[in-house]
Structure 1
Amino acid sequence: MALIDLIRKLFGRRPAPSQPAPFIPEAPAASEEAAPEAIAEAVTEPEAAADAGKTAEPEVTAAPEGLAEPDILQRSAARRDVFWAGVGDVEGDVLTHLISPGLTGGPAWPTTRQAYRVIRRAVGSIVMATDGLSDPFDAGGDTNGFNLELFVESTDLPADFAGTPGDVTPLGRSWMLELLQNVAGTVAGAGGIEGQLEHYGTLSMEVPGVSSSHAIKDQLPEGFVTADDAIGILIGGPAPDFTTLIEDMPLSPVRIVPVVLLTAAELGEIRAGDEETREAIVARLAAMPSRHRSDISRPSIV
């Protein structure tokens, strides 16, 4: 991807017409008989830990050269678990790819483990969050990966995709996962967006090619898709109703960054405006009952 196209995506500008739709292809299924929409699988935490080089009882040995130390990986995961437990009921299973996109030419996260955590809140909403963007890099370094994790929250995910407590599998077919995968891929492909968030506060991004998606095209109402087949999002605002910083991570503080779905009309206003326009949209959304939540039944503010 050309740098100018990436910048345009991050700051609300339309990508060059020649840029292909960035919807992430489905991960290979376990067998030819698997459902075509099976882009992820639910795994228990011990399995997820193993994917990142973690063990239930870490041996007192040095980590292999070029891999993050298991102890730091475990401590990073534990800090995230404690954080999310303060937000809601954390599901024991995570959603993760059958084969890591980082091994098949996709955007690379700090480790090959690319997982998604599900939290069910008492207010009736579901939070889906990346789980691994803040893992320490396999190649080493003194930061917790990209120093952030992304999340989407919604109160009106249909029951067919929301699942029930203890069962996250249906969420693997939801628009929430597909959207979060694409945003996470863009962030990882850019090498992180910490500097942009510090400078601008909230970023805007659009994802073209909705008709090429697997879940979004069927699950989002028409009012969220533009006439030219794109959806828009905000990254970093409005702020949620819980803290957004994990200060006690092993290597560096980690931001918890909201990803907020825009209606087509709201994206249109941002396209036609400037930084102040984006800030005004953020402020107006923050005043809505839904605030940072991506509730697809909410009215457009434009």
Structure 2
Amino acid sequence: MEYFDLHEDVAEGFWCLGHPLDLQGRELNDPWQFTVGAPAHFKARIRFPLSLEGTSRDYSHAAFGTPVVNAKLATIFQELAPNDVELIPVEVDSHAGPYFILNALRTVPCVDTEASEEAYYWTEEDGIPEKVGTLRSIYGMRIAPPKVGDAKVFRPSEWDVALIVSEEIKDAMERAGITGAKFEAVTGPPTFDPVRRAETKRRGELWDQARYARAAVWRGLGNMSDDFYIPPVVGGPWPGERQWWQAMRRPEGSMLIVTDGLSDPFNDILDRPTAGFGLELAIETPEPLGEVWKSWPAHLLERVAYEVAELEKLRVSLANGTLSMEVDGVGLPETLVTPEGRVAVLIGMETDSLPARFTLPGGEVRLLTVKVLMPAELKWLLRQGKGAAAELIRRFNEAGEGHLSRSWRQPVVS
């Protein structure tokens, strides 16, 4: 039996599904529960907003890599692998259903790292002792079929970001003309060639150089712990096509969350180190957060980082000073959301408590703060025009707020 890693076939012109919400519009507390190879604990109806309008497809990934399928594809999984999946009904804004989350119920320890193209592991330099020795990333993955048993849909326990399907399911999907799906073989002889393997190895070396140098910076800013772990996302517009974050408890007790990859080397430049976009973003809050990866600052930073990575014009503006921008406010504290459903931030406010710059092997990197604005402050900022950001920063510092972000505070403008 052959097996395949089931991916979303990313292409322009198609819809992009956002964060899962309950029918009251509240963001789910544990949006990763559909991607860990276990029964989901939230079985009620779920709604997906559209983060990007476009043509629907039979197979899609929503935020957090959540697989979403239509009724046509759901039937295939229900008929061929009824014991391996659960199909959770969902609604998609502006699109008639039915649609379902495709949640794999099983994990199988089956990754064959020796037969895989490249495998990288968490090390002590990463500052998270609990993860040392476990897989951090893998390329050209191969699994050992004898270990799979009778599973037709599962996630490898060593690398549960992958959704594996059997050849039988792949063939059924192809016969049905399913759209949005892409398959990568994870069985059979390795397909990599020596040149590609050398390139992958070199790319990994460059990534590690940048990652270890950043880790030293992050460790100097606060206490890092596995309790603060934020799951990464593979793909997207970041330089290394992977989205990572780090969180640390500051000496004074606040929580600092940073992007950890906007300064990754570009994937296609292998002859020298590069520093990606030459920046990382940071948001700091004195508020208690509970589980960091579920918190509103983490979700806000994710949305801001995506926009900065996606839009060159924003990065150009940031090179010239501070920048105010707005992102989707779905699931964020109501006190921060404007009547138009947006949340505003000010990027690039300087502070003495964080380094403005640090150096990687690929060059200098700016650490830019992200400060959330109250709706009244955004309204004032837009009304005042040129020079208003500098005045707003002066008032923040005068009020003792500085760069810190809170879900509510008294606006510094009237």
TM-score by length of 1: 0.71
Equivalences for 1:123-134 in 2 at 5 Å? 123-134=252-263
Equivalences for 1:46-125 in 2 at 5 Å? 47=134, 49-50=136-137, 64-65=198-199, 69-92=203-226, 94-97=229-232, 100=234, 102=235, 107-125=236-254
Give the structure with the higher percent strand.
2
1:189 corresponds, among 302, 310, 326, to 310
1:207 aligns with 2:327: yes
Question: Which residue does the alignment assign to 2:71?
Answer: none
1:227 aligns with 2:348: no
Give the conservation status (yes or no) of the 8 Å contact 1:202–1:237: yes
1:250 aligns with 2:337: no
Partner Cα separation in structure 1 for residue 206 and residue 397 of structure 2: 36
Over 3 Å counting, the alpha-carbon distance change for 1:288 and 1:86 in structure 2 is: farther
Paired AA for residue 410 in structure 2: P
Equivalences for 1:40-51 in 2 at 5 Å? 44=131, 47=134, 49-50=136-137
Partner Cα separation in structure 2 for residue 289 and residue 83 of structure 1: 26
Report the Cα offset of residue 133 of structure 1.
1.0
1:148 aligns with 2:279: yes
Report the Cα offset of residue 122 of structure 1.
1.2
Over 3 Å counting, the alpha-carbon distance change for 1:278 and 1:250 in structure 2 is: same
Give the conservation status (yes or no) of the 8 Å contact 1:96–1:114: no
Give the conservation status (yes or no) of the 8 Å contact 2:282–2:370: yes
Give the conservation status (yes or no) of the 8 Å contact 2:229–2:292: no
Partner Cα separation in structure 1 for residue 344 and residue 39 of structure 2: 34
Structure 1 residue runs of 5 or longer lacking an equivalent are 1-19, 54-60, 162-169
Structure 2 residue runs of 5 or longer lacking an equivalent are 1-14, 21-30, 47-62, 66-127, 141-194
Equivalences for 1:167-186 in 2 at 5 Å? 170-186=291-307
Over 3 Å counting, the alpha-carbon distance change for 1:157 and 1:171 in structure 2 is: same
Partner Cα separation in structure 1 for residue 379 and residue 315 of structure 2: 26
Paired AA for residue 363 in structure 2: S
Over 3 Å counting, the alpha-carbon distance change for 1:183 and 1:31 in structure 2 is: same
Paired AA for residue 354 in structure 2: F
Q: Deviations over 1:107-140 (max 9, x none)?
A: 4211232111011011110001111111101111
Give the conservation status (yes or no) of the 8 Å contact 1:136–1:145: yes
Partner Cα separation in structure 2 for residue 273 and residue 52 of structure 1: 51
Partner Cα separation in structure 1 for residue 337 and residue 137 of structure 2: 39
Partner-residue secondary structure (3-state), 2:412 = coil
Over 3 Å counting, the alpha-carbon distance change for 1:52 and 1:112 in structure 2 is: farther
TM-score by length of 2: 0.53
> Identical aligned pairs, as a percentage?
27
Give the structure with the higher percent helix.
1
Q: Deviations over 1:1-28 (max 9, x none)?
A: xxxxxxxxxxxxxxxxxxx999666676
Report the Cα offset of residue 83 of structure 1.
0.9
Paired AA for residue 148 in structure 1: L
Q: Select the structure of larger CA radius of gyration.
A: 2
Give the conservation status (yes or no) of the 8 Å contact 2:266–2:276: yes
Report the Cα offset of residue 52 of structure 1.
8.9
Report the Cα offset of residue 67 of structure 1.
7.5
Give the conservation status (yes or no) of the 8 Å contact 1:238–1:286: no
Question: Which residue does the alignment assign to 2:40?
Answer: 34
Give the conservation status (yes or no) of the 8 Å contact 2:210–2:264: yes
Q: Deviations over 1:181-219 (max 9, x none)?
A: 1011001101484432232x10000124x2xx23x1xxx
Report the Cα offset of residue 266 of structure 1.
0.3
Question: Which residue does the alignment assign to 1:12?
Answer: none
Partner Cα separation in structure 1 for residue 399 and residue 139 of structure 2: 39
Over 3 Å counting, the alpha-carbon distance change for 1:195 and 1:90 in structure 2 is: same
Give the conservation status (yes or no) of the 8 Å contact 2:393–2:402: no
Partner Cα separation in structure 1 for residue 132 and residue 387 of structure 2: 43
Q: Deviations over 1:241-284 (max 9, x none)?
A: 1212112x111111111110000100111121212112211221
Question: Which residue does the alignment assign to 2:412?
Answer: 301
Give the conservation status (yes or no) of the 8 Å contact 1:52–1:73: no
Task: Return the structure number with greater relative CO, CA threshold 8 A, min gap 6.
Answer: 1
Partner Cα separation in structure 2 for residue 288 and residue 52 of structure 1: 50
| Count of residues in Structure 1 that have an aligned counterpart in Structure 2 | 249
